[in-house]
Structure 1
């Protein structure tokens, strides 16, 4: 009786397993159920990308910035403000004053010198020392006066550089190049009939050549207007024999203004 119960119990269990889908007693190959499941295959790693190089600091181009700033100046007041704020010229840090110009900007004659000297740096105006006093006498000899309220007699004065150079040294090519855009815009806004370049530095800046003893007295053209290179009054104070040539240049200037009237 007991063996019969075992038979029917075993059969019932077998039928129940068949209903569940267990219809094969063994597989094609033995399986060790005690083995751990194999670890999943590692995912393929993406190739490491090259590290992004650190961004390089932008290096300012003083000449390009000067060009853009000068171009934006619509008036002489705008230009003076832009020049005073220009931070790429180290001369600014050692100067006492920013020296922009003197006299009427609507004058027929515009004189361009090199840079302020000691007295100009103190006062804040160009050509106020001994050289400036001699310049006033030279102008008076042909009936011109920087203090005149008449544009036809007045003379507008500026420099290539608005800040004094240490020990009154000659400006280098880099200093001239970064301030040249301001000078060219200055000329365009003042719009004089005639330009006078006094000394080597303004000739170097605007004509691309120096040698004032060779090129003085020879009329040329800068920015579409008659231009005359002349000795700087400071040179005449040291070389008094050159005053003869300076007088000839003044007479040439007087004749040119008459022709342009």
Structure 2
């Protein structure tokens, strides 16, 4: 049995570690199959909808061939039937092609960044919204010629609702300052605008659902230079499979806003905090970014 520390300072440090890892409740004694629970609740919602459409003759829903029958989850009470008329809790959804198509449709309708932010705030197709505290849309100047795109927000970003405000963001600010820029001369966003629990990597489904929104965001900002912070955002938006070591420092093009945008990938500031020796390579990338912006000014 694990010994719980007696020193209040150790207890405080342990609780801070759990909070940073995304733990927001005490675990129960029995294991919980969350996939089975989500499937069970989805089936109950579908049955409730079908009964609501034909109250005089309720329709019995039976799984089709090959369907997996949901079982009660140990340690949890049975889920209550879902009423379509009172859907204020926004239960979890199954990420699928329908959710991705809905995201594409909503993003395409956004005529401005404000519209796009409102669409994201109302969008219920990504389950990350259920665990995140705030929508992390963007920071900086939307009129800037330089745009940065990361992968997903972390704990500090989730608390403040702005991207790159933690230790990584502070390093990014210093890197911008080293080439004579600041947040007023750049626009910063992420592919995924909600923090994944425990700062885990977003799943491919979560990334695909959120992708239409960042694509539209880039189109609306229409920068001259696009910088991918880390390999994840570059792979998502450029469709490349190279690692960041092979990709960084190489100028590419991103088709957006009816033009070819100069694009480059560099190390994520969080990686540089863990590997400070790589800062020399990021410095070269930022010098190249500064020169590219200067060349654009001369055009």
1:121 to partner: Cα distance: 0.3
Give the deviation of 1:203 after TM superposition: 1.1
Q: How many residues align?
A: 199
Whole-Å Cα distance in 2 between the matches of residues 228 and 144 of structure 1? 17
Indicate which of 161, 164, 168 corresponds to 1:127.
Answer: 164
CA distance in 1, matches of 2:189, 2:237: 14
Query: 2:22 aligns to what?
Result: none
Query: How many Å apart are 1:166 and its aligned residue?
Result: 1.1
Paired position in structure 1 for 2:226: 195
Contact 1:201 1:210 in 2 (8 A): no
What runs of 5+ residues in structure 2 fail to find an aligned partner?
1-60, 64-95
Q: TM-score, normalised by structure 2?
A: 0.65
In structure 2, the partner of 1:184 is 215
- TM superposition shift of 1:210: 4.6
Corresponding position: 1:254 with 2:254 = no
* Alignment partner, residue 111 of structure 2: 74
Gap runs ≥5 in structure 1: 1-53, 149-153
User: In structure 1, which of residues 220, 225, 229 is the aligned counterpart of residue 252 of structure 2?
Assistant: 220
RMSD: 1.5
Corresponding residue number in structure 2 for 1:235: 271
The answer as to whether partners of 1:110 and 1:194 remain within 8 angstroms in 2 is: yes
Q: 1:142 aligns with which of 179, 187, 191?
A: 179
**Matched residue SS, 2:147:** strand
CA contact (8 A) 1:197 1:227 kept: yes
Deviates more, 1:204-213 or 1:117-126: 204-213
1:103 matched to 2:140? The reply is yes
Report the CA distance between 1:68 and its aligned residue: 0.8
CA distance in 1 between counterparts of 2:97 and 2:130 reads: 18
Report which structure shows greater RCO (CA 8 Å, sep ≥6): 1
4+ aligned runs moved over 2 Å, structure 1 = none
Query: How far apart in 1 are the matches of 2:198 and 2:286?
Result: 30
**Greater gyration radius:** 1
Cα distance, 1:60 vs. partner?
Answer: 6.6
CA contact (8 A) 2:103 2:125 kept: no
- 1:64 alignment counterpart: 101
